[in-house]
């Protein structure tokens, strides 16, 4: 039970931590107290746009969303506690990883922000993977930069700094060109021993582009790498004015290293220790498994990134997950409204997702691909959402919903099978988070079937990455000397948090295996749709 007096004191004295995460569809702000309980939240809905062949967001929306999420959180505090926020103990910013933001010496963005969703860097990614002998996915910042070099884009000689979305926000509000190691590991490969960019690969990249005679070397334009617990700057006077339009917030607040949504996911699910993992579900889906040992070879389907404290992680990232399910449920909402029935969103999701539990184990022979964009794991450069059935498929609502849930995790399962079946990676526990898990049991059962391992959802999972970022900000200020992030999470943050664990159901596992074979065989249908259905 939240003690109003204690919370009021914490807000007044600035004994709070704020996390703001810019996700692919929502920007969220979460303010927590010293007991890691959420005091208030704010959010802003937004969507990426396809412009001139690139998925992007404009910088005006970035700032508006940041300000709106903060303002909503601030108003909630004023409404519930009668206090205007002037001080905050610590702040952290996080955002979707990867992508490409290139700036000149004046701080001007040279080309529109290219997000992780762009599958336009295939040639660069393959070439760099071959040079480094280390998997460079298409989403990574270095792949975007090198593809721009291959394309001889005119902005390249003017580059002074490249960063991620979280790095940009951090720079804007603190003046520091820094990045948490987790987010940095999605820009350029990291050396676990030095906790910095891999020096060998830095030299290889500079040699690769030496003939171009650019006025920069790669390390000159990358942000400084920081690990969790470090202070990466303070909120400047200008930064405070940007964040809080009402100008109540005082500058000078310590800011922790900015992180990617993968890093905040491992924190929010207490999956920082080796042999633990988490699955983050949203517009895209990714699983992160903290490794005990190196993989035996390079796999294009497996990204090697780092936790916010620098441990190596095998990351399986699929570009598409919940968007197509959301679109279908929007259609069902339209039908209900056309029939004169106003439907509550939560009830709509709950009823429709639960229908999947009544389905045939394999989804009745139905097949779908929720590919709104390209999918790296299955080798599709662009996507076409697709639903297919044969004349003998068992076409009913339950199988329809199960099929869409299965396919949301189809590409992810193909990548996870490499880790568990080819590399025998040991996983003690998987924790899942994201909006899908707000409907109890269903999503957990599907993920448990896909991974054939127990899956837990915690009470904190609904707060997601913004809460995880607030925890990282709190760790920076409240850790004891030499206290590791794992110990801080185990002994302080999650000591009284219980997760609801679901074990894989044998018939679900078998059904998913049947579905995934159908999914693999049907990829030629999806490719044909890409080839012949003009976007």
Q: In this structure, is residue 420 part of a structural domain?
A: no
Give the tens place of pLDDT for each residue, 7-63: 999 999 999 999 999 998 899 999 999 999 999 999 999 989 888 889 899 999 999
Q: What is the dihedral of CA 358, 359, 361, 364, to 10 degrees?
A: 170
Residues with Cβ within 8 Å of 146's Cβ and at least 6 positions away in sequence, in order, are 121, 124, 127, 128, 205, 208, 209
**Position 480 in a domain:** no
Task: Cite the beta strand spans of 204-354 per DSSP E.
Answer: 224-226, 259-260, 276-281, 285-290, 303-306, 312-318
Segment 79-93 mean pLDDT: 96
Average pLDDT over residues 160-187: 98
| pTM beyond 0.75, yes or no | yes
Average predicted confidence (pLDDT) for the chain: 94
Give residue 462's pLDDT band: very low, low, confident or very high (50, 70, 90).
Answer: low
Yes or no: say if 378 and 298 are a contact pair by the CB < 8 Å rule. no
- Which string of DSSP letters, residue by residue, matches 26-60? EEEEEEE-TTS-EEEEEEEE---EEETTEEE--HH
Whether residue 453 contacts residue 430, with contact meaning beta carbons closer than 8 Å, is answered with yes
Residue 66 located in a structural domain: no
Which residue, 285, 519, 292, 268, is CA-closest to 427? Answer: 292
Query: Residue 190 has which token pair?
Result: 């990291």
Quote the domain boundaries for residue 372.
323-408+507-532
In a domain, 393, yes or no: yes
For residue 250, tell me if it sits in a domain. no
Nearest to 442 by CA among 401, 478, 497, 473: 401
The answer to whether position 403 is within a domain reads yes
pLDDT score, position 256? 98
Q: How many domains does the chain have?
A: 1
pLDDT, position 406: 98
Q: How far apart are CA 205 and CA 219, in angstroms?
A: 10
Share of the chain above pLDDT 90, in %: 81
Q: Is residue 453 in a domain?
A: no
User: What is the sign of the dihedral through the CA atoms of 394, 439, 456 and 308?
Assistant: positive
What CA–CA distance (Å, rounded) separates 527 from 375? 11
Instruction: Evaluate whether residue 374 is within a structural domain.
Output: yes
pLDDT digit string (tens) for 88-112?
999 999 999 999 999 999 999 999 9
């Amino acid at each position: 039970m939240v003690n109003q007096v204690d919370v009021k004191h914490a807000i007044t004295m600035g004994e709070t931590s704020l996390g703001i995460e810019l996700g692919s569809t929502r920007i969220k702000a979460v303010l927590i107290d010293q007991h890691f309980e959420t005091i208030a939240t704010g959010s802003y809905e937004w969507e990426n746009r396809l412009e001139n062949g690139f998925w992007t967001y404009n910088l005006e929306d970035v700032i508006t969303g940041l300000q709106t999420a903060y303002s909503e959180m601030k108003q909630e505090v004023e409404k519930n506690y009668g206090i205007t926020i002037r001080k905050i103990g610590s702040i952290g910013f996080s955002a979707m990883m990867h992508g490409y933001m290139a700036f000149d010496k004046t701080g001007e963005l040279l080309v529109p922000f290219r997000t992780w969703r762009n599958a336009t860097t295939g040639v660069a990614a393959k070439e760099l993977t071959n040079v480094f002998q280390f998997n460079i996915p298409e989403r990574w910042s270095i792949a975007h930069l090198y593809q721009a070099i291959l394309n001889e884009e005119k902005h390249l000689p003017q580059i002074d700094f490249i960063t991620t979305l979280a790095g940009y926000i951090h720079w804007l509000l603190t003046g520091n060109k820094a990045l948490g190691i987790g987010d940095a590991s999605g820009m350029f490969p990291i050396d676990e021993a030095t906790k910095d960019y891999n020096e060998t690969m830095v030299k290889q990249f500079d040699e690769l582009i030496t003939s171009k005679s650019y006025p920069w070397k790669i390390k000159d334009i990358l942000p400084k790498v920081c690990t969790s617990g470090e202070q990466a700057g303070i909120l400047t006077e200008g930064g405070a004015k940007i964040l809080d339009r009402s100008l109540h917030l005082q500058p000078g607040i310590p800011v922790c290293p900015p992180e990617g949504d993968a890093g905040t996911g491992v924190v929010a699910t207490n999956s920082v220790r080796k042999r633990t993992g988490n699955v983050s579900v949203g517009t895209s889906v990714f699983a992160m498994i903290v490794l005990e040992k190196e993989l035996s070879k390079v796999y294009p389907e497996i990204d090697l990134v780092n936790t916010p404290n620098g441990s190596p992680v095998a990351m399986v990232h699929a570009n598409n997950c919940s968007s197509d399910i959301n679109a279908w449920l929007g259609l069902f909402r339209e039908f209900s409204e056309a029939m004169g029935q106003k439907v509550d969103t939560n009830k709509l999701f709950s009823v429709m997702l639960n229908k999947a539990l009544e389905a045939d184990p394999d989804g009745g022979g139905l097949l779908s691909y929720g590919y709104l964009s390209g999918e790296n794991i299955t080798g599709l450069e662009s996507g076409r959402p697709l639903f297919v059935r044969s004349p003998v498929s068992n076409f009913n609502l339950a199988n329809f919903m199960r099929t869409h849930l299965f396919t949301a995790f189809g590409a992810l399962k193909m990548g996870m099978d490499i880790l568990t079946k080819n590399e025998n990676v040991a996983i003690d526990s998987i924790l899942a988070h994201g909006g899908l898990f707000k409907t109890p049991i269903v999503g957990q059962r599907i993920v448990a079937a896909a991974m054939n391992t127990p899956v837990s959802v915690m009470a904190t999972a609904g707060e997601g990455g913004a809460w995880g970022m607030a925890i990282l900000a709190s760790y920076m200020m409240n850790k004891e000397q030499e206290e590791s992030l794992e110990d801080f999470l185990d002994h302080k943050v999650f000591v009284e948090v219980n997760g609801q664990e679901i074990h894989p159901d044998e018939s679900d596992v078998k059904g998913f295996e049947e579905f995934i074979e159908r999914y693999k065989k049907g990829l030629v249908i999806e490719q044909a749709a890409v080839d012949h259905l003009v976007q």
